[in-house]
Amino acid sequence: MTLEWPGDDDWAAIASWLRPGSPAAVLSGDWELLGAAEVEQANRSGRVHNLVIRAKDGERIGTVSYQRSGRIGGYTVGGAIGSPELWRRGYGAEAVVLLVDYLFHQLDAHKVQVTTAGYNKGIIRLMTKTQFVVEGILRDHCYLDGEYHDAIVWGLLRDEHYASLKPSDDNRVLAVGLADFVPEDDKTQARAVLAEHLASTGRTALAPYLDGAAPRPAAVPADPSDAAGRAEPARGAA
């Protein structure tokens, strides 16, 4: 499975998965009444970011989304997979894990939050298989079949995410093996190239601040007139 940025022919499919009454299994507790043009505009404006979920055979099977929340690196995520059967086959869980890995590993997220409808058994079961923690209940948050339903708020902090990952001797292994954009060896070599350049040429604007790079200016002798000016006032005769 892969997550891909949407193309021009994906917006209508995303809108159909998110519309009220869609048979899609929706991760978020909120349905959205949006057309293809509105979904595209929301993405181009940066209000939300949708990614298309593709199965190994290349089939387009759903979408996941993220948007910023709060002011300390928080994100909320949502999504939908066209057929509820695909959620039960593990596609939903894998898509969520891929997205969460991306947010923590590449966007420096501090916290990821999900809100699920209290009536959605399949999605709640999916969330219980993740490392997300139940943070609260939103009362009467969703409306379905003529009545209001509660919603469940789930959260995952950065340290909780990384604590759940399998260790590796040569690289960080994320939950599904999301690789670094730049290999660790390349990062090490980049630092080495810079260090060698500085050691051999010394060409840097930081030279005056480095120990032994340049003598500090000598202290300026005090002006005698300044000392006189600072002398205590003469005392009168007793």
Digit-coded pLDDT (tens) for 144-168? 888 998 889 999 999 999 888 765 4
- The band of 171, judged by pLDDT with boundaries at 50, 70 and 90, is very low
What is the C-alpha to C-alpha distance for residues 174 and 97, in angstroms, rounded to an integer? Answer: 9
Coil, strand, or helix at residue 68? strand
Digit-coded pLDDT (tens) for 74-96? 999 988 887 767 767 778 778 88
Percentage of the chain beyond pLDDT 90 is: 24
34 C-beta neighbours (distance < 10 Å), count? 17
CATH 3.40.630.30 range(s) for the chain read: 2-181
Identify the DSSP state of 96: H
Looking at residues 115-125, what average pLDDT do you find? Answer: 84
Digit-coded pLDDT (tens) for 30-86? 555 568 888 888 889 888 899 999 988 888 998 999 999 987 899 999 888 877 677
CATH code, residues 2-181: 3.40.630.30
